[in-house]
Homo-oligomer: A and B are copies of this chain.
Amino acid sequence: MRQQRMLIPTLRDVPGDAEVVSHKLMLRAGLIRQLSSGIYSYLPLGLKALQHIQTIVREEMDAAGAQEMLMPALHPSELWKASGRWDVYGPELMRLEDRHGREFALGATHEEVITTIVKDEIQSYKKLPVTLYQIQTKYRDERRPRFGLLRGREFLMKDAYSFDRSQSGLDESYESMYKAYHRIFTRCGLNFRAVEADSGAIGGTDTHEFMVLADIGEDTIVHCPSCQYAANLEKAVGQLPAFADTASKQSGQHAEPQKVQTPQVTSIKQLSEFLHISPKQIIKSIAIEANGEPAIVLLRGDCEVNEIKLKNALDGTEFTMLSEAGIQQIGSKAGFIGPIGLQNVKIIADSSVIGMQDAVIGANEVDYHLTHVQVERDLAGLAYYDLRNVTEGEHCLTCGHELSFAKGIEVGHVFKLGTKYSRSLGASFSDENGASEPVIMGCYGIGVSRVLAAIIEQNHDERGIIWPASVAPFAVHLLTVHVQDEIQMELSTEIYKSLTDAGYSVLWDDREDRPGVKFNDADLLGFPLRITVGKKAAEHIVECKERRSGDQYELTAEQIIAHCQTFFQTGGRSSHE
């Protein structure tokens, strides 16, 4: 393509509202333009990269035996009511009425639609297993769209759904998608980790998110540098190092709990300062209410409750903080709650509390705490759970190595759905004996447009984008320094033809512009190889620059094709020998 007439509106300045690198560079390089908050148009270069990602996704999904189809974006509300999500989904689900007043949702995801199709079209075990996918626009009315394509309201997604007759079948389908996702993100040139994620109340143990490591990521990943363990913070578990408390050994190891006056000391921080002890020696007691019943949650003083883990411990029940009146009713006082002496209250303890010695708890009396509490002696019979966020310094439960923390952008998610949708929407099959069973489902998503942004987040420098060859809008940027120069134009024409004949995609900068502007734009657009036709055109010599390595060298025009073959065979990352 010739650049003169192509719509590639590069910008020198960064638009004010763009916060993250990928958003800034996609605007500056003329890949996208915003139409409304969280809603973008893809200009020609942006669409080319997006299409290359789609091609990779299609190839790997097809190779994994998944079948592509395409479902509508307009969903009749009846389907979402049948699954129960019409009410649950909240304002993120965009809704409208047609001219006859019938309600529709704009598809935020397609479980309802695909399950209905499978219900109608697959009745026998003979047609199972099957995995269906689509690449399709999704709509989610995010409260706060931001970061360009990373969190939009209209975005491109690949969503796949597997249908199996057994749990072991689901395990195989899941494994197949899991491996395909590895290949997809690898081919896209991403540095990513598959992390264990929480599956919520739906069930299923093997739920993974694919996280692209990036400082601007909105998710926290906990991973072990020594073994393969990785999980998101919602799900991550670790081993707290034991708190070596010298003081307790000397003084109160065998003492009875003792009530001490702690006037107006209601927080862990205040208490630790007042008693000159570590927060690690305090047991934090949090009063909650779930299903109308009060409960006390115990954690070591330096730990934070993970709400998802707590909800899971409550069998998926939603919970709220217990009111002051509620605290009174269980016989305690806000700020001075403790697990000893309460009645008719369920106590749920995090594993960080196990074996604490000489600990401090609230005395359920204003301005008093209890010291010298021995958990094994004074709080015997506690039910322990994993309720806390893993913290820096915890150790890997698998190998014992200290865990690392990182930020990640979620680009993919594989999930064992089970029978949630097949039961509510009635998708069942008959087995060899004619017995009817609900189909067992998995769902698998990739944020295709988010992948595009994540690639740029990980592949850029201060001058612009550095495309992986697999997704670059063009492989080669051919740049003619002076388009008025007949010799340069003649050689450029020749090179352009030979490259395109050889199957390389080439953007030819044939603009009448200052060379500096053109070189800057070439770095900003960031195609793997730049070939510059300049002063030495008469000698048939061009300059070649590799965008990623920065290597620059001269080639004769006749060497170009062979050089491109070598360069792109190695994924555009090799440097010139």
Contact = CB atoms under 8 A, between A and B. Distances in A.
A276 interface: no
Interface in A1-53: 1, 4-7, 9, 30, 33, 35-36, 39-44, 46-47, 50
A96 interface: yes
Interface residues of A, number: 58
A43 to B, nearest CB: 5
B41 A129 contact: no
B72 A39 contact: yes
Query: How many subunits of this chain does the assembly comprise?
Result: 2
A36 B74 contact: yes
Contact of A130 (B5, B30, B68, B117): B5
Given A35-B113, A117-B41, A99 B143 contact: yes
Chain A interface secondary structure, helix, strand, loop or mixed? Answer: mixed
A95 B1 CA distance: 38
Interface stretch (A119-127, A399-407, A461-469): A119-127
Contacts of A7: 67, 69, 121-122, 127, 130, 132
Contact of A127 (B5, B33, B94): B5
Interface string A42-83: 111011001000000000000001011111111110000000
Contacts of A30: 121
A69 B96 contact: no
A174 interface: no
Contacts of A102: 36
Contact of A33 (B39, B117, B143, B512): B117
Given A7-B122, A91-B99, A99-B143, 17 more contacts: A6-B67, A7-B121, A7-B132, A30-B121, A33-B120, A36-B102, A40-B72, A41-B70, A43-B117, A44-B67, A46-B69, A50-B70, A74-B153, A74-B154, A94-B96, A95-B96, A137-B137
10 contacts: A4-B127, A5-B65, A5-B130, A7-B122, A7-B132, A36-B74, A42-B69, A96-B96, A96-B106, A99-B141
Interface of A: 1, 4-7, 9, 30, 33, 35-36, 39-44, 46-47, 50, 65, 67-76, 91-92, 94-96, 98-99, 102, 104, 106, 113, 116-117, 120-122, 126-127, 129-130, 132, 137, 139, 141, 143, 153-154, 512
